[in-house]
Amino acid sequence: MIKSLQELPDSINSQIISYLPQQDKLNLLYTNYHFYMLVLPPLYRSLLFTKSSRLELPNSFDESLSTVIGGIKSPLATTKLNNKIYNARQEIILDSLMVNKELCRYIESVTVLGEYHNNGYVESFENSIQPKVVDFIKKNCFNLKYFSVKNTNIPNIMVPSLQHVQLSTLNDFEKLLSLRVKNLEIDLADNNHKMQYISDQLLLTFFQNLDSISFHDEFSQTIVMKRLLKIKSLKLNLRSLKLIFYHQFENPHDLICSFLDLIEFEKIENLELVLGCDDITCGCIIEFNKYLVRHNMKLKRLSLVQRTRHREHNHTEAFDFQITEMLKMYQNHEYLRHLSITHVPPSDFNVGHGFEGNYLHRKMLYKSVLPLLNRLETFECPTFVQSIACYEQIISNLLWNGCKCDHCDAYLSIFDKYILDHQYYDEIKCHLTDMISPILFGNIGRVLSIRKIGGNIAPTYAYWDFHDAPYQISHFHDCKFDRSAFPAATTCLVHFVQSYVEKMGRMIPSLKRCVLSGMFYDKISENRWYCSERFLQK
């Protein structure tokens, strides 16, 4: 019988260590030299730089995804103190790498997460991480394969070892051709490009070696697609693809379908579609979905994202109808395990026709389709709370007829007083008006949703000060609401959403995880769900 980890082979110990949370890795590292050497590779393999702190999820392995160099967990910390701690931790990791350059060979992935601002402000890359840290990593980490930024401007970093590249200008495309890139993301910040001057053979070799392409804007997508369609004998062996189908002035159906004909569909495992059409009577999205379903895709992950400039309920319901019709065609799908659906609710959560009946109509669409996905294990909806907030009668149930546990009973009345004491600027009416529950809980949901950025990035904490928003929020008297009240509000929201998760679990028995607006629910037994937020037990 094995009584100690030291009795296990190093190969097994390394596997076990890779699943440990960051602090447990550090604790094990300090025990002896043998474990010190075993812990170093997984500890330094993936680094996440962020002013936030890692989100504790004890019922899953999400914390093991990255080593977080971040700020303070406490919502009471001032911005000045948090930045000071974050800068100090950057100095420490830099000093460690400079003193012991052997550590550099373990670094394979670096992610920089810009600080989220609920008013829409985007932090610069230089304020998200110290430039000297980036410079040192670029020059000394020769096994660096993945460098990614989120919530900030793309710095177009290219080093010989990189397999994942983000581009903000196609002028740098020629520099990529000498790299062994496997994953390409394009999000243009300018309209300049020289792709027409690159030879067909160079482009053929480059794109045939790609495993993943992600288009984040229509302009780059159109340029790249049109250029690739001119290359003879091109076949793409992609495993992951993100593209945009947005019918604004010109229907992109023919161009996108011609591009997709270049792809070996049976190799696609991950697909993200950004879908939208400004003409509510047009059937272009349904036709495009039918085109996709006709091909033999062994999808494991499917992500559907709404794209619209309209704020009305009818356009969102049309999107729901379009994607549920598509999902019907994936019923009993053998491979599909992960589904993500993202809507674009207006920033003030006013959809014009936010009646309970319209909410129930949308709810019935999903209720009739989701049970057909009988092998689904993970469901994500980053905008779940924000979408519910568009229907005042529904979200007000949280405030006045919600959970009756001791925690909610104590705090919901406090948040009711917040509504009484605050106003917000109504951009449609062009004046300050009384605060309403959709504004309060919609903003809470929007901030919570930022906690989960991507599938391979460790989740982080996010807090709201109850005043920062895309519009003015003001108060009548001296206001004591700040970030310290956010964890309590999160717990109230967790309790409210839990009933939705339980119903979804009954609809899809195979479901193991739900992530709704950044709240993580994990199934621990038959129809019993666990969320990491405190005071969850009612």
pLDDT tens-digit map of 426-449: 988 888 999 999 999 999 999 999
* Cβ proximity of 407 and 491 under 8 Å: yes
The pLDDT score that the predictor gives to residue 119 is 86
The pLDDT score that the predictor gives to residue 425 is 92
Q: Dig out the tokens for 493 from the structure.
A: 């929201």
List the Cα angle 143/146/150 in 5-degree steps.
150
Q: Mention every residue, 6+ apart, whose C-beta is less than 8 A from residue 438.
A: 348, 349, 350, 354, 389, 390, 391, 392, 395
> Hunting for tokens 């701690």 — which residue is that?
85
> Where in 334-465 does DSSP place strands (E)?
338-342, 378-381, 422-426, 431-434
Residue 246, strand partner residues: 276
The helix/strand/coil state of 165 is: strand
The pLDDT score that the predictor gives to residue 538 is 40
Whole-model pTM: value is 0.94
Cα–Cα distance, 223 to 175 (Å, whole number): 18
Cα–Cα distance, 271 to 257 (Å, whole number): 15
* Cβ proximity of 234 and 262 under 8 Å: yes
* Cβ proximity of 98 and 113 under 8 Å: no
Q: How far apart are the first and last CA of the chain?
A: 41
Cα–Cα distance, 220 to 408 (Å, whole number): 48
Cα–Cα distance, 164 to 183 (Å, whole number): 5
Helix, strand and coil content of the chain, in percent to the nearest 5, comes to 40, 20, 40
Report the helix count and the strand count for the chain, using DSSP H and E. Answer: 18, 18
Which residue ranges in the chain fall short of pLDDT 70?
Answer: 1, 192, 534-538
- How is residue 419 annotated by DSSP? H
**Which one, of 464, 482, 475, lies nearest residue 115 by Cα?**
464
- pLDDT (tens digit, 9 = 90+) per residue, 112-151? 999 988 988 888 999 999 999 999 999 999 999 999 999 8
Number of Cβ atoms within 10 Å of the Cβ of 488: 20
Residue 147, strand partner residues: 110
Chain centroid to Cα 369, Å, comes to 24
**Which one, of 453, 377, 511, 516, lies nearest residue 55 by Cα?**
453
Cα–Cα distance, 403 to 391 (Å, whole number): 19
- pLDDT (tens digit, 9 = 90+) per residue, 58-113? 878 888 899 999 999 999 999 999 999 999 999 999 999 999 999 999 999 999 99
The pLDDT score that the predictor gives to residue 239 is 96
Number of Cβ atoms within 10 Å of the Cβ of 167: 21
Q: Dig out the tokens for 501 from the structure.
A: 């998760």
The pLDDT score that the predictor gives to residue 294 is 87
> Hunting for tokens 């529950």 — which residue is that?
437
Cα–Cα distance, 360 to 345 (Å, whole number): 17
The pLDDT score that the predictor gives to residue 535 is 44
> Hunting for tokens 């989960």 — which residue is that?
452
- Phi then psi for residue 473, to 5 deg, are -120, 125
The pLDDT score that the predictor gives to residue 174 is 82
- How is residue 56 annotated by DSSP? P
